[in-house]
Structure 1
């Protein structure tokens, strides 16, 4: 049963060239406490490069941005229930159709141009899900929930199968990434290998500073689908996303990748991998 209040406010203006392909709808997961902090920074930085933006949250937004909200599902534990409803709304109820649907947490920074380049290698008419690939829970792994991208055909498949409670049941759980991967795997859709030609990851679940943790390194070694690479060798210079960032770090990253690009020539994601941390040079 589809429950919860759903509200949609008109499509956000975009700075992306209308002729640019493939098209991407960015779907951002946030909550009321982050509307004026994390979400505000995202909308002022990387989200401007999306073709359109849809926010899903637990309360009405204080400004005119397209959003759906679920006041009765206001904790992380409702993530699986919410993403089902949001993806149904984005694919079935929104008039405009997109080639790709990019879902991101509100503490993620997405290099949308790199995402667009990556998806050009794939056919949106074939079911696909792209992101960081974990090697547990499902025999062929699951796609990490920090940032992942679903093709138009993949969205159709997911919207079809989640109407079947036997294949894709609706229940109360936080780990939406594991559940969507499990549902898609039942119909033969598995996470795509998104590493570059050197085997470096393009989607990054952890903050760079988190790699200092020996526990985390062991966790990655045991659970990553493709194994562990040391920092900075693990970071592709065609990286699509970073995760667990503060709003300040997002602003700094956006400045490095966009303002300096115009002033000093084109930069790629490798500029963020020098030194002890991508932000250590500021301290």
Structure 2
């Protein structure tokens, strides 16, 4: 320790520290060292200010980089995308629809392929129920034979398979034929107010003919019908009840579906718009606009659950589905609804309808007195 010095500052002498002299020095190992003054030199102050300024600049730069990085994160991008999405995109995200189309191998190229190229590509997911796989189509192969007499059996198998394998992949499950055209945007718009946890389904309502319980109805298989996720569950889990659902595979598919769902307490929803105009229609559009059927004994007028009319104002401005649409007509529908523009047309400000609580759901009774 010889020749080494330790300088210690202290504001005033204190008898508690041995060797502290009144001159402000501390004696260590017999040597004396003058204490450093309390005031920092000007050069040190400038250096300290520079260091603090540099630190502030670095912290600001780091914060700026972090904000930019956060803006590039998936969550931030999703938030920004949601803020700028269209109404159609919002509905596509919030109202997930799995479409399944009933077809046969002989119609894969002449019908099913054209469905996939037009309205089918707007489904959140689409499957073609058939008896043979096809590399050009997303298919689900059924075990039932390709015969009209077993359409009920094929429908039971299709919905059961969807429940067992894909029930969590969609909120609603739409059945259609390969000569049906569906406007998915309008279907999502119609379904938006309803919860998929409500056991309900929609389509074009028909009256049950003959002896039947009051208010029982069924949906046209041609224009298609859509089940909520809860209705799919109710159907799949109650299908084997022989007192409620037909166990044989024969008989009319849409009639048996309606009977089964009615017996299982699945609600038959009213798909008409606020002006009571049809959104599902079991024929092509001209059948509702300019009908050549003058007699009230025409099958559509007799079987419609709600009073069927024919006039230029009888179809909803937001139609959902039509039947008897061939493959050539599908491209006409596609063009006039997704490409055609009318110069000077006033754009309509669209808004989503209000949500409907299940306890507030009211389904009107039949108003068709034609028999």
Q: TM over 0.5: same fold? A: yes
Shift in Å, 1:127: 0.3
Q: Distance in 2 between matches of 1:106 and 1:157?
A: 26
Residues 64 and 184 of structure 1: is their aligned pair in 2 closer, same or farther, counting only changes over 3 Å?
closer
Partner of residue 4, structure 1:
none
8 Å Cα contact 2:113-2:137 kept in structure 1: no
Deviation at 1:64, TM superposition (A): 4.5
Q: Which has the higher contact order (CA 8 A, sep 6+)?
A: 1
| Distance change in 2, residues 1:117/1:266 (3 Å) | farther
Cα distance, 1:36–1:240 mapped onto 2, change above 3 Å:
same
- Structure 2, unaligned stretches of length 5 or more? 1-87, 349-371
Aligned with 1:113: secondary structure?
Answer: helix
Q: Which residue of 2 aligns with 1:272?
A: none
CA contact (8 A) 1:142 1:190 kept: no
Residue 75 of structure 1: how far off its partner (Å): 1.0
Task: Write out aligned runs for 1:219-234 (5 A).
Answer: 219-234=299-314
Q: Of the candidates 116, 126, 137, which is equivalent to residue 43 of structure 1?
A: 116
Aligned equivalent of 1:102: 174
Picking from 254, 260, 263, the partner of 1:177 is 254
Matching residue of 2:266: 189
- For structure 1, the 5+ residue unaligned runs are 1-15, 269-283
Q: CA deviation at 1:157?
A: 0.2
In structure 2, what is the equivalent of residue 13 of structure 1?
none
Partner of 1:111: 183
224-233 vs 146-155, which deviates more?
224-233
Report the TM-score when normalising by structure 2: 0.63
Structure 2 counterpart of 1:67? 140
Q: How many residues of Structure 1 are paired with residues of Structure 2 in the alignment? A: 252
Alpha-carbon separation, structure 2, partners of 1:184 and 1:31: 26
Q: Which residue of 2 aligns with 1:122?
A: 194
Residue pair 1:261, 1:267 contacting (<8 A) in 2 also: no
* 1:156 alignment counterpart: 233
Q: TM-score, normalization: structure 1?
A: 0.81
Match of 1:28 among 101, 112, 129: 101
Q: Report what 1:273 is aligned to.
A: none
